[in-house]
Amino acid sequence: MRQYLIVANLTLGRAELWREVRERMTAGPCRFHVLAPAAHEPRSGAYTEVQNEGEAAQRVEHMLARLHEMGAEATSEIGDIRPFDAVLDTIERDGPIYDEILLSTLPASVSKWLGLDLVSKLRRNLDIPITHVIGATEPAET
């Protein structure tokens, strides 16, 4: 069974990420672990750690519910606010179990993660294939 690490926060649940998830589920049995590095959403006002983790937790819960509805095995966690550290912490804790990382970010014009060169840093430091998924700036209306 293939195992995938989904790394996302503000783009959790966006159509672009779901397309990648469905593609992998169609390819064969798989398991997902959703890692949401805590991230402050700029338009939500003053930053507080509680608010930050609460917003991430809501997105993660929604993603997990949909994954389970689709018949996928899935687990999740809220990680370090520094996305690079969050990914390394998860990989270090879990060991070499992931076949691929699905890294979902906002477009370059607004993505803090891309400003940190996250994709390149992870590729340089990990021996795991990384698929970079660029999500829409705003979620699609459902």
Model pTM score: 0.88
Percent of the chain with pLDDT over 70: 85
Burial 100-111 (b: 16+ CB within 10 A, else e): bbbbbbbeeeeb
Q: How far is it, in rounded angstroms, from Cα 87 to Cα 10?
A: 16
Q: What rounded mean pLDDT belongs to the chain?
A: 89
Q: In this structure, are residues 38 and 9 in contact, taking their beta carbons and an 8 Å threshold?
A: yes
Contact predicate 20/131, CB 8 Å: yes
- All structural domains of the chain, each given as residue ranges with its CATH number in brackets, are 2-58+66-134 (3.40.50.620)
Question: Which residue do the tokens 């979620």 mark?
Answer: 139
User: What's residue 140's pLDDT?
Assistant: 53
pLDDT of 47 > 50? The answer is: no
CA 112 to chain centre: 14
pLDDT of residue 50: 47
CA dihedral (73, 59, 89, 49) positive or negative = negative
The yes-or-no verdict on residue 40 having pLDDT over 70 is no
Per-residue pLDDT at 38: 84
On the question of pLDDT at 45 being above 80, the answer is no
In this prediction, residues 30-47 reach a mean pLDDT of 73
Q: Cβ contacts of residue 58 below 8 Å, gap of 6+? A: none
Encode pLDDT of 48-102 as tens digits. 444 456 788 999 999 999 999 999 999 999 999 999 999 999 999 999 999 999 9
pLDDT band at 142 (very low <50, low <70, confident <90, very high): very low
